Amino acid sequence: MHLLRIPSRVWQIVSVSFALCFLLVGASTFASADIIKIQSATSCGGGTICNSGTTAFSLSEIENGSESLLDPGDSTVTVGNSDTTTYEINNDTSSTSFTLTIAGTLANNAFLNCQTSGSFSNDPCAISGVLGTVNNPNGGGSAKYGPPSGQSTNWPYSISITFSDVPVGSNFDLNFSSFAHGGIDTASVVPTSVPTNSTPEPSTLFLLGTGLLGLGGAVKRRLAI
């Protein structure tokens, strides 16, 4: 009985083919997109978080820090473990576009992606940070932000994400999905503006005190005349 002899050249081709398949499968398995998107407003409850009862969050108050989303100190609100966290927000600003600052930590092989869907399909969105700016001109999932080149550990990020064509006065859903890696991937919305500090600065107090002392001296001299 004769065994079929396979030429070494064939074995080489087969080996290379298996290696390429492994790399392709590995890339598709381990690459992870953490998605931030806006979509048509849904009813409060059933996975959609509202500010109070059926009242949506205020976009202007989110921007100035009066209302917080994904507060890291609130253990009841997470975006890890592939949870889908959705907030209903009302655009009570005077603009149809808005920018949110979002910070957190991602696994070494995770990247951010902005998208739009529902009544906002094909609307543009963009992500900007220290790694540059990526744009989704039609709201699709083509733009990817991160991870940094050669990243081998979890990486912190702070980005600005911009959405456009959101009618003034309308409600919309802000959705965080596919944040995975056993809770490693996190996100928190931080204020984009800081309320005005009404406390006088030390230099102002010094000038005020000096002026009062001078005024007091002038009054005393006038009385002594």
In this model, does residue 59 exceed pLDDT 90? yes
pLDDT score at 23: 42
Q: What is the pLDDT of residues 22-42, one digit of tens each?
A: 444 344 345 688 889 999 998
Express each pLDDT in 136-193 by its tens digit. Answer: 888 776 778 999 999 999 999 999 999 999 999 999 999 888 777 767 788 888 776 5
Does 10 score more than 70 pLDDT?
Answer: no
Between CA 86 and CA 196 the distance in angstroms is 30
β-bridge partners, 163: 98, 125
Give CA–CA dist 18/83, Å, rounded: 35
Give the pLDDT of residue 223.
53
More confident residue, 78 or 104: 104
Write down the pLDDT at residue 131.
95
pLDDT at 2: 52
C-alpha closest to that of 120 among 140, 145, 90: 140
Condensed to tens digits (0 to 9), the pLDDT of residues 66-88 reads 887 765 555 445 555 555 688 99
pLDDT at 44: 83
